[in-house]
Amino acid sequence: MAALLKSVTPVTQALHACGQQVRWKSNPLNSVSLLQQYYRKMPIRKKYRRAIMRGTMVMCERTGQVRIPPLAISGYDEKKNPYRGRFEDLRALRVWFKD
């Protein structure tokens, strides 16, 4: 049994020396940006965190909720006649994010 283990050990060392992937060791070359660290620490669900990172949703500083960003819709003015329906029922030709 000891002879079998001695013969296997050089083979496994040779595989590691060839540069094969070792799955249990962390790689310090893949760094994480400060922005990614900030997003990952947010106490919200993963799908909303991904939406915030993608830019399709925003975090409201006043309430702490995840919301759809303010939209500008052609044919509707926010002060005079704001659109109050569902987004799926909207028939406007142009919709864009308000800055």
Q: Which residues contact 32 (CB under 8 A, 6 or more apart)?
A: 40
pLDDT value, residue 31: 82
> How far, in Å, are 8, 32, 70, 94, 97 from residue 52 at the CA level?
50, 17, 14, 23, 14
Residue 3 has a pLDDT of 60
* Domains of the chain by residue range: 30-68, 70-99
What integer pLDDT is reported at residue 51 of this predicted model?
93
Residue 20 carries which DSSP code? Answer: -
pLDDT digits (tens, 9 = 90+) for 8-65: 555 556 555 666 766 766 666 678 889 999 999 998 999 999 999 998 899 988 998 9
**66 strand-pairing partners:** 59
What pLDDT is attached to residue 78? 86
What pLDDT was estimated at residue 95?
Answer: 92
Count of alpha carbons within 13 angstroms of residue 28, beta-carbon side: 0
